[in-house]
Amino acid sequence: MSTTTIRELIPDFAKDIRLNMSSVILSNITTQLSQNQLYGCMLACAYALKDASFIKHIENLSEPVLSSAEIQAAKSAACIMAMNNIYYRTMGQINDEAFKNLPAGLRMQIIGKPGIEKLDFELYCLAISSINGCGTCINAHINVAKKAGISDSDIQTVIKLSAVVNAANTSLALA
């Protein structure tokens, strides 16, 4: 399945999303991000959105590009961010200072040993955190990406990709 096939499924009431679907994915013309990074972020977002039909579309689109390790890492990113985004978003919203010094006490070793390039996994986590709206996690993943040399423009591409994937999922659900 190609982006063209997914675009064809998006209804006319979501024409902007249909057009953005290809322009953001094809942005690898103007980005330093690899195809694997872009497709990995897209697949991680699909897993985070938890819609089986949409996941299948994005898996079919991504499988020719991604290795089995990258696919597993996208699943791992969706799972760990399902936990971390809730925990850190909530902790960031609590006004009581006593909570700020409490250790998380949550196992998250996958972030240190994701089975793929750590930077790629960080980008997957950034994309998912963008969808889940966790400012604490977004900023943490941006900091790691910037320290690894990822440009602001490429970070923005990851965020735009997550926004478009989220909107495509909504568009197909409403079709």
Which positions are catalytic?
A: 134, 137
Neighbours of 153 (CB within 10 A): 12
Element (H, E) at 114: none
DSSP label at 2? -
Report helix, strand and coil shares of the chain as percent, to nearest 5: 80, 0, 20
* Distant-in-sequence, close-in-space partners of 60: CB < 8 Å, separation ≥ 6: 1
Cα torsion at 117, 118, 121, 127 (round to 10°)? -120
**To 5 degrees, how large is the angle CA 129–CA 134–CA 137?**
70
CA torsion 67-40-22-55 (nearest 10°) is 90
Task: Enter the tokens of residue 58.
Answer: 């994005």
